[in-house]
A and B are shown apart, each in its own frame.
Chain A
């Protein structure tokens, strides 16, 4: 999708008014991969392909998709932890590509990241309090006493005591470690936090605690979240808007209620079919949605047409799907989908199951 189109119809990610806090336009990321053997020729592999997204102040945007669809790469590109191959990312109107390393470091105070793995993302040789103090030290905030006080307050906010602060990460459970990771990201009072599968490594009971903590902090601090998850139930619970990624492309983007009630892209429909529903008869209610078949396609051998075509119940074998990549287009207000036959999979389901709540 070209920028002109975006300009004409507003960005596919725009929701509501006001300038977005984070705007990614036509973002692509290509890695070069060496072929077989030592002398194999290296070739480019496109992991993210023309992603356009915007995040409004105060919202939670979910990025969902299966493993390998580029969620984590996208998160790192949005923060410029990885350099982009193409496209731009603007944070609060500032083009991240235009910043030198010093300016970028200074900006990181406003842009934080919570990592997926709470075991490996904390330095095992530092105490919890030191870990939370470190960002303050990096950005030269306060003197030693103030920093230590702020760190303890932040630990308190995530439910850890000063006594916990003296312990090292190995003395904590997974949920507690993730709280430390959250405290480290939030102690700088950032404006935007990217959460890369923040609860995926945790037990289900702990997941809810951490999600509620994140939600409370968002309310109290007026934060904006980009929330990456492969768990649709978590996305449904947590996010205001959800973007569905497949093979490095946004295939559908809508607000939560719309996406979960009326998914248009066959991939979204299939994904939703595998979400466990805690309602009696819920499984039956969704049973007619076609389950996913096959494995996630490979970014190395990207299909020429629609990336989802080889697995698609609707479009598999159709010439247009094989030959042409569908653009991301607006179906209804704020509901964007990249499909030649949007809604067909959903329609089949609606007919068979008599609609969905």
Chain B
């Protein structure tokens, strides 16, 4: 799976029979994206992080969880490029394992939030009436909470851990997708080509599949790219305050917490390296989403892609 498929061509909520025509179109848009340097660079960074997460466990000997108290708190060196922590674990191996965890969980959170929130928004926008009113009031209720506080509450309520933290972050993202897709669905629903499809004898389902979903996907992708960066950060944040991943899981946020106390005594590498990794991933994700917003802007989307 390439970074493109992770960051841009995420599995879509909707049918996508891989016909040659569709594949060709996908190839064309991929080439267009690759030609755009402001998008290609952050995407390339994310690809490198993914390769880092996948390849380090294969080619780098030390285990991320194996303790070796003799070698504890060693500064970066040839044997341990990022040093070792207080239990003698290799920080490079732990950062790589943390990358795998962060990217995987954040992807699942993004995907889950997009599927649930997107479906709610589409249904609300297309059906209108009471369905719309009730579901949007529920979304407003979720939005009324500060997002991180709500995620914390969900995590604490369901039992501290990485999976409940992921649930909390996903829940917080649902209303954003729902509101966005609802407004898009309402806009598209009133366009004349929808009425034209109706006049041709299309069923509702067909109109949604063929004419509504393809039009909301670009907007959904932009939102997903932004939400992905937020999910990485929020998960690390929850782990940092002890609500997410628990020791000895090498999660970036948890590693920073552990390393923080040693940074005061000079062992800066334990907290800095996961922190830098976090910074790189979140920055790259938000650059991707910003650039995608420019490229897929509704006014320019049909000319550019």
* Chain A interface residues (CB < 8 Å from chain B): 79, 81, 104-109, 112-113, 115, 117, 120-125, 134-135, 138-139, 168, 170, 181, 184, 188
* Chain B interface residues (CB < 8 Å from chain A): 191-193, 195-203, 206, 210-211, 214-215, 302-303
Q: When the two chains form their complex, are residues B192 and A120 in contact, meaning their CB atoms are under 8 A apart? A: yes
Q: When the two chains form their complex, are residues A123 and B201 in contact, meaning their CB atoms are under 8 A apart? A: no
Contact of B201 among A117, A120, A124, A135 (CB under 8 A): A135
Tell me, rounded to whole Å, the shortest Cβ–Cβ distance linking A105 to chain B. Answer: 4
**Residues of the B chain whose Cβ atoms lie less than 8 Å from the Cβ of A79:** 199
Q: How many Å lie between the Cα of A104 and that of B192 in the bound state?
A: 20
- Give the most central of B199, B206, B214: most A CB within 10 Å: B199
**Interface SS of chain A: helix, strand, loop or mixed?**
loop
**Residues of the A chain whose Cβ atoms lie less than 8 Å from the Cβ of B202:** 105, 134, 138
A–B Cβ pairs within 8 angstroms, 10 of them:
A79-B199, A108-B201, A109-B201, A112-B199, A112-B200, A115-B196, A122-B193, A123-B193, A125-B302, A138-B200
Q: When the two chains form their complex, are residues A170 and B193 in contact, meaning their CB atoms are under 8 A apart? A: no
Q: Given A81-B195, A121-B196 in contact, is the A139-B201 Cβ separation under 8 Å?
A: yes
Tell me, rounded to whole Å, the shortest Cβ–Cβ distance linking B201 to chain A. Answer: 4
Q: When the two chains form their complex, are residues B192 and A168 in contact, meaning their CB atoms are under 8 A apart? A: no
Q: How many Å lie between the Cα of A168 and that of B28 in the bound state?
A: 14
Q: When the two chains form their complex, are residues A122 and B303 in contact, meaning their CB atoms are under 8 A apart? A: no
Residue of A nearest to B200 (CB): A135
Q: Given A113-B196, A121-B193, A123-B193 in contact, is the A138-B201 Cβ separation under 8 Å?
A: yes
Q: How many Å lie between the Cα of A188 and that of B201 in the bound state?
A: 11
Q: How many Å lie between the Cα of A139 and that of B195 in the bound state?
A: 17
Q: When the two chains form their complex, are residues A134 and B200 in contact, meaning their CB atoms are under 8 A apart? A: yes
Residue of A nearest to B191 (CB): A120
Q: How many Å lie between the Cα of A112 and that of B215 in the bound state?
A: 25
- Give the most central of B200, B202, B203: most A CB within 10 Å: B200
- Nearest 8 pairs between A and B by C-beta? A108-B201, A105-B201, A120-B192, A121-B192, A113-B199, A123-B193, A135-B200, A121-B196
Q: How many Å lie between the Cα of A79 and that of B195 in the bound state?
A: 12
Q: How many Å lie between the Cα of A120 and that of B196 in the bound state?
A: 10
**Residues of the A chain whose Cβ atoms lie less than 8 Å from the Cβ of B206:** 138
